[in-house]
Amino acid sequence: MSSRPANLQELRNSEWKSKTVKQEIRDNFLRMLRDGEELFPGIIGYENTVIPEINLAILAGHDMLFLGEKGQAKSRLMRLLARFLDEEIPYLDIPGSPVHEDPYRPITRAGKQLVASQPADKVPIAWWRREQRYAERLAPGTKFADIIGEIDPAKLAAGTSMSAEDALHFGLIPRMHRGIFAMNEIPELDELVQVGLFNILEERDVQIRGYPIQFDIDVLILFSANPATYNRSGKVIPQLKDRIGTMIQTHYPLERHIGIEIMEQEAGIDLGGEYPVLVPYFMREIIEQISICARRSKYVDQQSGVSARFSISNYRTMIASARHRAIRLNEKPAVPRISDLGHLYSSSLGKLELDMMGSHQMSERQVLEAIQAEAIKTVFEEYVDKHGLDEIVDVFSKGMKIEVGDMLPSSLYAERLKRVPKAWEKAFEVNPSENDAVRASCMEFVLAGLYATDRISRSQKHGRILYEL
């Protein structure tokens, strides 16, 4: 804005008021809460659990720890807190200084000297934008100098005294004075660095190498951690744990439909275009149920967790497979089938950490196959309970053999099942009688469900699957 103050005198004549970063966040939060604005856009499933705890922590002026397994939006929540900062704030424009000092409350010797020695209209003011006031760091490999600071050997060589401010190289936290600093995976942080953080949380000052150089740091500090490592004895020093104001426990979606909503939002796939994709809801349910089953599986290391990215990646792969078939066979719309799940290995392998005690040396592929089968069975039985699919079972129990595959034309399925059972039309939100590709998807779901519930048999050869009684 062209009218914003450019020097200290103009700033004093304006309506700008000095606030701590936590006061600033709290005031903006209260305004947005009062005005009914969306506080945490894009966050789904935390409305009654996590978000109220964050709200209270903001009002209490607490530093926060986000404790949860991977893929539970911890980093996203921390980044979203920056939206409660002012759009921009003024700072003393000191050439070469990495610290954005409050013009009314400077903390460095250079800042204090500038304000004390110059007329107010000669003290230059610059403006620090909101998006620049948030910084985060991943703990593994982080050194004391990275986030706190270090004595700069080049400045010592130039004759600067080791006990002088000018000899310091500032780390991320002093550079985030009047901003937000986030440390991811705090249990992986070196103990010496944890001690430095403890001192900042306790005294709000920075001491480097024991020299009596202290800064009154104003910063909101956020942490994230996995419960398995955070609660392990010796990983985080007790003094640091004790100084964190609020611990916020995140979680995976409590209901499958919430997980589906998150999956579709985060996948961000355009289902339109030249080859549009129609995704039956039962296929969405199966993709999310695979993640749910993995989180409960005895074969998977539950301390590691199963990220929401597992569902997102699998959903993208399923749609990619359906679209690939549609383009090759010139079918519209592209409709995902159970046979498309055969490609989930590429997007799943590496995202599951096996429990070596529970898996009994099963391969990751075998574990994934077992999890997929359980997910299909769970979703299919829900449809059976709700709609009663005896009529469908009867169709496939009269000696019919049906071959399926991710690259088979939908017309072949239509030939096999010329009469669509009435139960199909009420069981699925898609109408299998109107489109061959939809019929093929429904047929594969029923066949896979019948196999998963031990009602028919299955054999596999050369990428094709044959179902028979």
For residue 360, pLDDT beyond 70: no
Report the 10 Å Cβ neighbour count for 104. 14
Report the 10 Å Cβ neighbour count for 96. 5
Quick one: tokens of 197? 């953080």
Distances (CA, A) of 324 to 143, 287, 424, 427: 47, 18, 26, 27
Banded model confidence at residue 399, pLDDT cuts 50, 70, 90: low
Q: What is the pLDDT of residue 364?
A: 82
CB 460 within 8 A of CB 404: no
CB 224 within 8 A of CB 75: yes
Residue-wise over 339-373: b if at least 16 C-beta within 10 A, else e?
bbbbbbeebbeebbebbeeebeebebeebbbbbbe
Rounded CA separation 125/114 (Å) = 11
For residue 318, pLDDT beyond 80: yes
pLDDT in tens, 201-234: 777 666 666 555 667 889 999 999 999 899 887 8
Banded model confidence at residue 467, pLDDT cuts 50, 70, 90: confident
pTM of the model: 0.88
Higher pLDDT: 386 or 31? It is: 31
Q: What is the pLDDT of residue 135?
A: 96
Banded model confidence at residue 350, pLDDT cuts 50, 70, 90: confident
CB 189 within 8 A of CB 183: yes
Q: What is the pLDDT of residue 167?
A: 62
CB 169 within 8 A of CB 152: yes
The one-character DSSP state at 232 is S
Higher pLDDT: 457 or 163? It is: 457
What is the residue whose two structure tokens read 């690259």? 407
Q: Domain spanning 8-249 has what CATH number?
A: 3.40.50.300
Q: What number is the average pLDDT over the span 131-136?
A: 96
Banded model confidence at residue 106, pLDDT cuts 50, 70, 90: very high
pLDDT in tens, 65-77: 999 999 999 999 9
pLDDT in tens, 44-61: 999 999 999 999 999 999
Return the SS3 of 417.
coil
For residue 427, pLDDT beyond 50: yes
Pick the range with the lowest mean pLDDT from 3-12, 299-308, 422-431.
Answer: 422-431
CB 57 within 8 A of CB 245: yes
DSSP run (H or E) holding 460 = strand 457-461
Sheet-wide strand order for 402-404: 402-404, 464-468, 457-461
For residue 359, pLDDT beyond 60: no
Q: What number is the average pLDDT over the span 4-20?
A: 95
CB 139 within 8 A of CB 172: no
Rounded CA separation 178/180 (Å) = 7
Higher pLDDT: 403 or 101? It is: 101
Q: What number is the average pLDDT over the span 3-15?
A: 93
Rounded CA separation 4/448 (Å) = 66
* CA atoms within a 13 Å half-sphere pointing along the CA-CB vector of 336: 26
Quick one: tokens of 245? 């104001």
Banded model confidence at residue 1, pLDDT cuts 50, 70, 90: very low
Distances (CA, A) of 410 to 86, 331, 336, 406: 56, 8, 11, 10
The one-character DSSP state at 425 is H
Strand segments (E) across 29-121: 64-67, 88-92
Rounded CA separation 384/390 (Å) = 8
Return the SS3 of 3.
coil
Relative to beta strand 134-138, strand 125-129 is: unpaired
In degrees rounded to 5, what are phi and psi of residue 9? -65, -45
| 333: preceding bond cis by omega (within 30 degrees) | yes
Can you say how many angstroms the Cα of residue 160 is from the centroid of all Cα atoms in its chain?
A: 45
Structural domain spans, the chain:
8-249, 256-468
Give the mean pLDDT of the chain.
88
For residue 358, pLDDT beyond 70: no
Rounded CA separation 413/359 (Å) = 37
Q: What is the pLDDT of residue 161?
A: 55
Q: What is the pLDDT of residue 155?
A: 61
Pick the range with the lowest mean pLDDT from 48-62, 112-126, 336-350, 395-409.
Answer: 395-409
